[in-house]
């Protein structure tokens, strides 16, 4: 038996669901911010905006909240690293939180969204949505930097990983 039900989670300020609003591609600004320390985790941070060069402060606050809602307990003496990509658009904000497993080869993610008037109450993205084409830019960079600086070398170089970032118009 398959049960189906409809939920309004994932409906943005303009009434559309994630992935429904028609868009034309245009480059968007991706900004790197300093890493943040959250409950024993080191979290690299990125901001994307369709509206301006850098997202507003409340968008980064939304991102930090999604990090707090997503990350498990840190790994103690093992590497506890992740990243947060926040994205402001005309219909609201999106956040991708990614963190690396204890064995350093599995990426875990959670994706969140909120309308402009609900930035303090993010909801998980519906339909297993992970990221848009702009959010995928820092995600791909993070994968490559993690392999290059943490997985491949005999000794992980966390400082080099933290220093490796991406920014610009994509």
What is the DSSP secondary-structure string of 5-57? ----TTB-TTSPBTTTS-------EEEEEEEEEETTEEEEEEEEESSSSS--H
The tokens for 41 are: 């985790």
Query: For residue 60, what are the CA distances in angstroms to 31, 42, 108?
Result: 11, 16, 21
User: Is there a contact between 35 and 67 (Cβ–Cβ < 8 Å)?
Assistant: no
pTM above 0.95, yes or no: no
Question: pLDDT (tens digit, 0 to 9) for every residue of the chain, 170 residues total?
Answer: 433 323 344 555 556 566 677 888 999 999 999 999 999 999 999 999 999 999 999 999 999 999 999 999 999 999 999 999 999 999 999 999 999 999 999 999 999 999 999 999 999 999 889 999 999 999 999 999 999 999 999 999 999 999 999 999 99
pLDDT at 3: 32
User: Is there a contact between 112 and 97 (Cβ–Cβ < 8 Å)?
Assistant: yes
pLDDT at 7: 33
pLDDT at 14: 52
pLDDT at 15: 60
Determine the Cα–Cα distance for residues 161 and 20; give it in Å rounded to an integer. Answer: 36
Q: How many CB atoms lie within 10 A of CB 52?
A: 9
Determine the Cα–Cα distance for residues 15 and 20; give it in Å rounded to an integer. Answer: 10
pLDDT at 2: 38
């Amino acid at each position: 038996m398959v049960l189906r039900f409809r939920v309004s989670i994932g409906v943005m300020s303009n009434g559309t669901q994630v992935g429904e609003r028609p868009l034309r591609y245009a480059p968007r600004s991706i900004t790197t911010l300093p890493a943040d320390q959250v409950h024993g985790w080191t979290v690299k941070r990125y901001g994307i905006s369709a509206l301006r060069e850098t997202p507003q402060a409340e968008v980064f606050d939304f991102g930090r909240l999604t990090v707090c809602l997503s990350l498990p307990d840190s790994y103690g003496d093992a590497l506890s690293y992740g990243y947060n990509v926040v994205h402001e658009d005309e219909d609201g904000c999106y956040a991708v939180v990614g963190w690396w497993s204890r064995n350093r080869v599995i990426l875990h993610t959670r994706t969140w969204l909120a309308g402009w008037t609900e930035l303090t109450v993010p909801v998980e993205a519906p339909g297993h949505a992970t990221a848009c084409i702009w959010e995928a830019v820092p995600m791909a960079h993070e994968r490559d930097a993690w392999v290059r600086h943490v997985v491949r070398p005999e000794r992980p170089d966390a400082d080099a990983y933290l220093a490796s970032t991406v920014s610009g118009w994509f």
